[in-house]
Amino acid sequence: MADLEGLLLEWYEHRGRDLPWRKTSDPYAVLVSEIMLQQTQVERVVPRYLHWLERWPTAASLAAAPLGEVIREWQGLGYNRRAVSLHRAAQHVTASGWPENLTELPGVGRYTADAIARFALQHDVLPVDTNVRRVAERTGWAFGPASAHALMDLGATVCRARVPRCAVCPLATGCPSRGRRYEPLRKQSRFEGSFRQKRAAVLRLVAEGERPVAELDGEAVAALVRDGLVRLDGELVSLP
């Protein structure tokens, strides 16, 4: 079999995506990018990431910001609990430094911890997200940490979930899965008409200014209060 890792790295040198968070080794900047990317497309994240770091360039500056302002800035990225987790993580880092076990940070799971360790701290670990896992499983190749960004890009742009673009894949010659098509692993729940949409709509209204609870969806308000995204003071709902 061909040296797939060598072919992959050569492809990445010419075809890799030019993304702003790949130009820094600042753990905080990497953390911001990874939290934003957890549920949001790269194209939407890029401008928001750049603006976020202009406003809060360090963990300490974010930690000192009012949570309500952080939530307001997050609007449009979806899954707003991530904003609360990121704010809490910044407070943890500011107060106690970066923990040896990065999963101790709010909102940081195994993949995000490994991404920070690899891309910011230069640890010899391969962060395994959906794209990395897909390429590794389809090729049967044991890729190393140096291929992390290349694997992510290949999985996102060429070795796609359902219909891989094998004709333009640099690994096609040595790939045992070449030419296969795949059924979707799961269907994403509809956002339109969902409770998530109701929550998002209520939070968007409250981000514009405090509102009487009687004007809002009560169930959505209760869920947002539980998640720390809004505050209920008597009959008024506001950002925390």
| Active-site residue set | 34
- Axis-axis angle for helices 130-139, 148-157 (nearest 10): 90
HEC string for the chain: CCCHHHHHHHHHHHHCCCCHHHHCCCHHHHHHHHHHHCCCCHHHHHHHHHHHHHHCCCHHHHHHCCHHHHHHHHCCCCCCHHHHHHHHHHHHHHHHCCCCCHHHCCCCCHHHHHHHHHHCCCCCCCCCCHHHHHHHHHHCCCCCHHHHHHHHHHHHHCCCCCCCCHHHCCCHHHCCCCCCCCCCCCCCCCCCCCHHHHHHHHHHHHHHCCEEHHHCCHHHHHHHHHCCCCEEECCEEECC
**N-terminal to C-terminal alpha carbon distance within the chain:** 57
